[in-house]
Amino acid sequence: MAGNLYVVAAPSGAGKTTLVRLLLEQEPAVHLSISFTTRGPRPGELSGREYHFVDSAEFHAMIGRQEFLEWAEVHGNFYGTSKKWIADQLAAGSDVLLEIDWQGAQQVRSIFPEAIGIFILPPSMEELTRRLTGRGTDSADVIARRLSAAQAEMRHVGEFDYVIINDQLALAVDDLRAVVRASRLSLTAQRARHAALFARLI
């Protein structure tokens, strides 16, 4: 595998999507995997950009055809990652980032144990509550469920290689970028990316 596979997970409201968007703006060589989902698009979202929006019947047909690297049910909706697209990108030497939950991260690691896991934490439960409420897109019941789920999700932080606390956004983006850049300099990554140079020098 010539490319690096980054798995970024976080509880809802921790700022994962914003961090990933800012990272991709600064690191254009990292390619975001666009998940398939059965949830409806939020205002401003487009199929093929934020997600590939499909209905439940099509999603389950894709499960049956074993097209997903990982898939999970989250808050009553299904999400999945295309297995072929990931494999093709990595084989071509591209870095790929998956923005998924801890369940999906477990599935990915079973197939790609070398995947680099990054978990995003909020600075406090109070701040997490403020962020979820401030969205203005979810009902009080949905927010309560997300907060309860967040506490369960954060217990899986020990399964990841790196942890970023998203207190100040600019610093958190710098931390995320540091992980990406440092991982490219590992011996394994450098040997794969510069095989001809290693052969000539060593």
Let me know if residue 201 belongs to a domain: no
Q: How far is the CA of 171 from the CAs of 6, 166, 177, 191, in angstroms? A: 19, 8, 10, 30
Residues 5, 98: contact at Cβ < 8 Å? yes
| pTM for this predicted structure | 0.83
What is the domain range of residue 82?
Answer: 5-194
Let me know if residue 110 belongs to a domain: yes
Domain count, the chain: 1
Let me know if residue 103 belongs to a domain: yes
Residues 141, 56: contact at Cβ < 8 Å? no
Q: What is the DSSP letter of 163?
A: E
Let me know if residue 161 belongs to a domain: yes
CATH of the domain at 121: 3.40.50.300
Let me know if residue 189 belongs to a domain: yes
DSSP string over 73-108: EETTEEEEEEHHHHHHHHHTT-EEEEE--HHHHHHH
Task: From first to last of the 202 residues of the chain, give the pLDDT tens digit.
Answer: 579 999 999 998 899 999 999 999 999 999 999 989 999 999 999 998 889 999 999 999 999 999 998 898 888 999 999 998 898 889 888 999 999 889 889 989 998 899 999 999 999 999 998 888 877 677 888 888 889 989 999 999 999 999 999 999 999 999 999 999 999 999 988 998 889 999 999 9
